[in-house]
Amino acid sequence: MSQEFGQRSVTTRDDEIGEVLQTVPTARTDLTGRVLPQMTLGDGNIPGSLVAPPPPLPRSASPASRAAARFRVEGNAIVTGGAGDLGLAASRALLEHGLRGLMLFDLNAADAAAKAEALQAEFPQATVRFTKVDVTDALAVDAAVAETARLLGSVDALVGLAGMVGCQHAVDTSPNEWNRVLSVNTTGVFLCAQAAAKQMVKQGTGGSMTFIASISAHRVNYPQPQVSYNVSKAGVMAMVKSLAAEWAVHGIRVNSVSPGYMDTILNEGVGLDAAKNVWLSRNPMRRMGQPDELTGVIVLLTSRAGSYINGADILVDGGQTVF
């Protein structure tokens, strides 16, 4: 074995695998002397703590008022992929439950502008805006989150719906295609989460984040091959748990939703009929979900009703994964 720590490399010999050149980050003495960073957990027993339970709903209020308050959505939210079918449905539901300000992030500026204008007309008491954002561009995401805080006054919730589908046989998947799917679906989620978390920590008010995972993160889809997509969504689920652990101390809850097959434009066209017949044959309800059927859990996770839900993934799939 030869070691050349000045060049940060190690050459090893193994009779089974031959000679391998590996790059190491630093010398062994530095590695053994390092100190790992550690998470700080919250203390919900301290009154006024960002992880303390919300105050009780007033008993003097009517049952209807308490029910409405339980699922009221406060403050301002960012919805990524806001111009899509699921993004629009989620945005409308959040506004229906009291959201004060909404910023749509989407690559399709023309479509997002039209959707924002329609939502603004439907909810004149709220402020609805849009901005063109590539979620894989860290600088663009940071700038968009900062602009949202400037225009709306704060960022209190993030709902991440931006994503893409990749269906290819594994042996035919190019490195570029693999990287493209993970860049949007996993790295893009992290960049948006990181930028929003920095803003929430700066505000000192906490917040909530809800990201879209998938049944594809729970088991292999059939009959379509889509390894890159499955891996990207499994990454979202793992990321959500990690961020929930790290950011709870700041009063930031992080969760995910795993939809089943939804009746959106992504699943339209006669070319998908054979696959859809297989999907439905394996679903106890024998149908796809409607975009509005995903909104209840998003409202739950964004509202007071979800105040003790953190690091969770909720399946909304009609029972697709029970078999």
Cβ 87 vs Cβ 80: under 8 Å: yes
Tell me which of 91, 208, 214, 258 is the catalytic residue.
214
Residue found by looking up tokens 């719906």 in the block: 161
Cβ 206 vs Cβ 251: under 8 Å: yes
Angle at 313 between CA 73 and CA 247, to 5 degrees: 65
Is the previous residue joined to 25 through a cis bond, with omega within 30 degrees of 0? no
Cβ 240 vs Cβ 255: under 8 Å: yes
d(CA 165, CA 263): 15
Nearest to 79 by CA among 196, 168, 183: 196
d(CA 139, CA 129): 20
Strand order in the sheet with 2-4: 2-4, 9-14, 18-23
Helices within the chain (DSSP H only):
28-32, 63-70, 85-96, 109-122, 138-152, 175-182, 188-203, 227-247, 273-281, 295-302
Work out whether strand 101-106 and strand 127-132 pair parallel, antiparallel, or are unpaired. parallel
3-state secondary structure of 297: helix
3-state secondary structure of 69: helix
d(CA 242, CA 248): 10
Active-site residue flag, 233: yes
Tell me which of 91, 216, 228, 233 is the catalytic residue.
233
Q: Any idea which residues carry the catalytic annotation?
A: 214, 229, 233
